[in-house]
């Protein structure tokens, strides 16, 4: 990931905070700050498909986040001090989680459509749609995954031995 040309070129990067069954992103987040890039993480709104990408001030800032009922760390609902990526300069790159992927770039998420809805919003931003890279385990690569009309394909899937 760290040697990837898109990562190297990107200044404003959104990345998920890993759940135990996902690729662990902590070292990538540390590198984002080490390289002087801006880091944004998801804040999901419960009972909806709305998500914002909010700016982290440092890798240590993660310890100040609250744990949701889904066991995900994220900025609290009343945290209004953080920059939302689309309220500023948009994003260059989004690292995306998922349960399954196929080699056509289709992604099976957890069923709420948070990333698809967010990418639709990105497309309306002056900076346009960011490049998307899914981070996966080899076992998550399938022949095909079910897709719906509003699903947005990822630009690239990175996994071991790819």
From the annotation, which residues make up the binding site?
Answer: 17, 22, 107-115
Angstrom distance (rounded) from CA 92 to CA 90: 7
Which residues are annotated binding-site positions for ATP?
Answer: 107-115
Which residues are annotated binding-site positions for substrate?
Answer: 17, 22
Angstrom distance (rounded) from CA 127 to CA 53: 15
At a CB cut-off of 8 Å and minimum separation 6, what does 133 contact?
1, 4, 6, 7, 93, 94, 95, 96, 154, 155, 156, 157, 158
């Amino acid at each position: 990931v760290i040697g990837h040309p898109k990562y190297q070129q990107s200044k404003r990067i959104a990345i998920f905070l890993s759940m135990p069954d996902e690729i662990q992103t902590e070292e990538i987040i540390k590198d984002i700050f080490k390289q002087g890039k801006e880091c944004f993480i998801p804040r999901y709104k419960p009972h909806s498909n709305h998500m914002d990408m909010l700016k982290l001030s440092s890798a240590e800032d993660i310890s100040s986040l609250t744990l949701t009922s889904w066991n995900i760390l994220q900025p609290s609902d009343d945290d209004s001090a953080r920059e939302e990526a689309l309220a500023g300069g948009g994003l260059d790159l989004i690292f995306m989680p998922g349960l399954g992927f196929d080699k056509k770039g289709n992604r099976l998420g957890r069923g709420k459509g948070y990333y698809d809805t967010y990418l639709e919003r990105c497309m309306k931003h002056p900076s346009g749609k960011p490049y998307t890279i899914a981070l996966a385990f080899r076992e998550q690569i399938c022949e095909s995954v079910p897709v719906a009309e509003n699903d947005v394909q990822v630009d690239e899937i990175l996994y071991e031995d790819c």
